[in-house]
Structure 1
């Protein structure tokens, strides 16, 4: 893993669009000119992810520091076929499991968690299409995904209302709906081909509106200004009378009141990014201590890597990382079961297991990114190394939803046999 980026590497990138330039309009990403690669199995997916990660790592610190949007990287990522690995075999895809999805996203997130976060909602929407779309919609959208088309997210809304209090309106007109509303935390919308907007109609029924990124009335504002996860392009989406035909409108699963594992899907796609951040931070800690840190004088050792307290601390982090990885794989298997057979029991099992994995991934992400500096020493704080991005990314992304509520739902299930609520946040 490459911890920093050479200064000369910045020159070819200076013309790239940057994050948080709300007054600069970025044209929609062109649709793929050739089909994406078709990945056939778990081993191939992991191999492709590792190959991409090696390349993405080279300028990861530079992209973070300068705020360069990963336009070339995301194009390679989606054209690699990794964004299509859950498309069903009946529609030409490999239909790989969430064990594979989480392993792929962990590998990418370890080097650049902004890139690792970008397919989150894309994978979630593919699952929604499987369970809630019509046959015609599935044929259309899965063919698009296999070409390399990317779905962006427009779900959360600005303000201090509860996250599930949607104000975006869908007004029925001849042949479809007009979409009006404002969204924030719109991960990947700026660099997507299709923006999936969640809204409700006059009957309070909620739908996913699959709007073309270039649709009239749809504006994506590049105003994401967080100190972490800087290059996820998670700005503001403004829809003003955006027309979406009925054949691009899909009902949301949560409005049906039926058992579903879709909440666990959303959660595990969040948790795996945190786990990737933890792995990347621990990898960089080990590399820095081995090659750049110096031993503390009281240790009597010549090398920082020989310091017994440093050795013990790294061992502690490794144990916690491996425990989180094991819990994540267990959760992914239960998510697969819940998707294949969505009963009240399988959905609850998937949600609880994912909540447990989310707790551990959050804890190790924050611990590993914080202890990096304690173990590597003061020189690890120098800007040239770019190691502060690990902590900033972990602190930002683990705020996605409060872990304190995970403890409650897990405890309530174990102690009182109360199943967790259905929804995207458990």
Structure 2
């Protein structure tokens, strides 16, 4: 089932696309301040999200006809990479928000949550958690929602609540009394929603990707989700979520380059055996910086190509042609998967090569350079790269689209 975007008369009242994009460099510069120290001391970046709210960039993808600036998928993906160049935690933690917004703007009015577009335009941020620990297989839901009087009560425990600690609203999945899986969208300050700071991953430590306890949370009728995640829009958003991760990793690689350049110019000494007077004049140091820069450019080109493919899919939705949309969905899924496979090779290697720029001093905890490798590796662990490469190969050799259509792995 495909819902065409409802066409309304232009009502844009907030900042234009160009105005919003012009705010990105200043925002990135502010978020970059103290990023290494935050990671080292495990200080959650609440201030960064306050600044992001104020920037209005959370509404970037809302089209002009719905009152927004009309930013494109490439605009959004470049925003995430730019944020990642300051702090990949911040970039990653916005994944649920932009996934939610994308689904909103591509769904028909009858499938949008009540008041959701207005909330996005007001600067509200959206998080959520659907995964659960301890189930037999990924994707199984044990959280329950039952009717009590005129409202419902939600009970359970969720995991991978990435970004929810910084959000204003969050979506959760649960099984109702009929055994059906349903979704709800709730304000995060609702009594009974307890967001835990218990994410213990080696990387992306500040994404607030831990658990949420749902303790007898009251749910009202209008808070049940009206959109489907299983249709073509849902599949598009699934691929978009994967490219968001790739863009976060791309940003971390940009950070490797900027940190490396800064270290060489300000801290590093030439090696004892080097004929160069300074590290910046050392041919081997220059070679490593050149390699890092080339890898960063290649990764940026890959995510840009993925963004263009996803923009084509978003544009195709307006046609209402299910076959054309299907073709575009498969194409964007393949492009994104291929991009992730290459980033999976170049990203960690680039972060490791950074240590060739200096001696033992480059490993000092005060620099916290190892965070880049940890963060990139953690992002890449979200979905099995070996499975991605097999699926891409099966499609190329045999035309198999089974997993490409499921909207989960890619």
Question: 1:185 aligns to what?
Answer: 160
Distance 2:51 2:300 in 1: 27
2:197–2:208 contact (8 Å) kept in structure 1: yes
- Equivalent pair of 2:83/2:90 in contact (CA under 8 Å): yes
> Using the alignment, how far apart are the partners of 1:363 and 1:126 within structure 2?
31
Equivalence map 1:374-413=2 (5 Å): 374-413=356-395
Distance in 1 between the 2:65 and 2:112 partners?
14
Pairwise CA distance, 1:349 = 0.8
**What is the correspondence of 1:115-154 to structure 2 with a 5 Å cutoff?**
115-132=90-107, 134-135=109-110, 137=112, 140-154=115-129
Residue 224 of structure 2, aligned match among 240, 244, 249: 249
Matches within 5 A, 1:288-327: 288-327=263-302
Change (3 A) 1:259 1:341: farther
Distance in structure 2 (CA, Å) of the matches to 1:401 and 1:217? 31
Counterpart-to-counterpart distance in 2, 1:48 and 1:118: 19
How many residues were matched structurally? 389
On the 8 A contact 2:285/2:356 being kept in 1, the answer is no
Aligned residue for 1:396, secondary structure, equals helix
**2:343 pairs with 339, 346, 361, which one?**
361
Q: Secondary structure at the match of 2:65?
A: helix
Deviation at 1:68, TM superposition (A): 1.7
RMSD of equivalent CA atoms:
2.4
Partner of 2:16: 40
Shift of 1:45: 3.4
The 2-side partners of 1:346 and 1:175 are apart by 44
Shift of 1:385: 1.8
TM-score computed with the length of structure 2 as normaliser:
0.87
How far, CA to CA, are the matches of 1:344 and 1:83 in structure 2? 28
| 1:82 counterpart (57, 62, 66) | 57
> 1 CA distance for matches of 2:136 and 2:301?
36
Q: Distance in 2 between matches of 1:339 and 1:203?
A: 34
Change (3 A) 1:139 1:182: closer
Alpha-carbon distance between aligned partners in 2 of 1:251 and 1:416, rounded to the nearest angstrom? 37
Q: Distance in 1 between matches of 2:234 and 2:367?
A: 47
1:72 has 2:54 as partner: no
Distance 1:167 1:340, change over 3 A: farther
3-state SS in 2 of match to 1:261: helix
How far 1:176 moved relative to its partner?
Answer: 5.5
Cα distance 1:53–1:257, how it changes in 2: closer, same or farther (>3 A)?
closer
Distance of aligned partners of 1:253 and 1:417 in 2 relative to their CA distance in 1, 3 Å threshold: farther
| Structure 1 residue matching 2:69: 3-state secondary structure | coil
Tell me, what secondary structure is at the counterpart of 1:298? coil
Q: Is the 8 A contact 1:107 1:276 kept in 2?
A: yes
Change (3 A) 1:171 1:335: farther
Between 318-327 and 100-109, the greater mean CA deviation after superposition: 318-327
Conserved 8 A contact 2:114-2:222: no
Cα pair distance change 1:247/1:160, threshold 3 Å: closer
What is the CA distance between 1:277 and its match in structure 2?
0.6
Distance of 1:388 and 1:165 partners within structure 2: 35
- What runs of 5+ residues in structure 2 fail to find an aligned partner? 1-12, 318-324
Displacement of 1:106: 0.8
CA contact (8 A) 2:15 2:69 kept: yes
Which of the residues 197, 203, 225 maps onto 2:172?
197
Q: TM-score, normalised by structure 1?
A: 0.84
Partner of 1:345: 327
Gaps of 5+ in 1: 1-36
3-state SS, counterpart of residue 260 of structure 1: helix
State the SS of the aligned residue for 1:297.
Answer: coil
Deviations 1:331-381 (A, max 9, x none): 111112223335221111111111122223333321221111122332111
1:336 to 1:415, Cα distance in 2 relative to 1, 3 A: same
Is contact 1:259-1:422 (8 Å) kept? no
Any idea what the Cα deviations from partners look like across 1:13-38, whole Å, max 9, x if unmatched? xxxxxxxxxxxxxxxxxxxxxxxx94
| Higher alpha-carbon deviation: 171-180 or 313-322 | 171-180
Identify the residue that residue 3 of structure 1 maps to in structure 2: none
Higher mean C-alpha deviation, range 134-143 or range 116-125: 134-143
Q: Retained in 1: the 8 A contact 2:106–2:233?
A: no
